[in-house]
Amino acid sequence: MDELNVSLANRLDEVSRLATLLEAYGAEHGLSPELVYAFDLSLDEVLTNVISYAFEDAREHTIDVRFRIHDAQLEVEVRDPGRPFNPLDVPPPNLDAPIDERPIGGLGLHIVRQMMDRLEYRHVDGRNVLTLTKRIAKHD
C-alpha cells in the first residue's frame, strides 16, 4: 500500500500546492493522466468549498489529505475541522431546467460525483471526512 499524507492550511493557494504533489504522486506510481486529472479537478472543487465555507472564523485551520493506493484503486481522504457538512446530502442539480431558473452553484459537486467511482462522508471526532475513490485503469 502506497500512501502520501499532506497537511494544508485553509488558504486557496494550498490547492495548487496539492495539485503539484498529486502530479508527482501520480508519476511515481504510474497513474494515468486521466486518473490524475479526475482527482485534480475533484480535489480543487472539494478543497475550494472547504476553504471557502467550512470555517466560522478567519484563523488558520489544518486540512489533512491522504492519498492511498489499494485494491487497484486510488483513494483520497480529505479531513477538515470545519462545521459538519455532508456534501452527499446536496441534491443533484436539475440540468434540464432552463439556465435562468437554475440556482447559482452546485455544479462542482455534480462534477465530482461524475468523476469518481465512489464518494463517502462521515463525521468523526469533530472532523468532516470525505473519501473519494476511483479505480485505477489497467494499461494494455
What is the predicted pLDDT for the residue at 74? 97
Helix/strand number for the chain, H first, E second: 3, 5
Q: What is the CATH number of the domain that holds 84?
A: 3.30.565.10
Residue 44: which domain range?
2-135
**Cα separation, 122 vs 86, whole angstroms:** 7
Task: Confirm if 6 and 23 have CB atoms less than 8 A apart.
Answer: no
Is 10 a member of any domain? yes
Is 140 a member of any domain? no
Is 118 a member of any domain? yes
Domain total in the chain: 1
Is 63 a member of any domain? yes
**Cα separation, 64 vs 60, whole angstroms:** 13
What is the predicted pLDDT for the residue at 107? 61
pLDDT truncated to tens, each residue of the chain (140 aa)?
Answer: 589 999 999 999 999 999 999 999 999 999 999 999 999 999 999 999 999 999 999 999 999 999 999 999 999 999 999 999 999 887 665 556 566 665 555 667 878 999 999 999 999 999 999 999 999 976 53
At 25, phi and psi to the nearest 5?
-60, -45
pTM value is 0.89
Is 102 a member of any domain? yes
Is 125 a member of any domain? yes
Cell of 24: 508527482
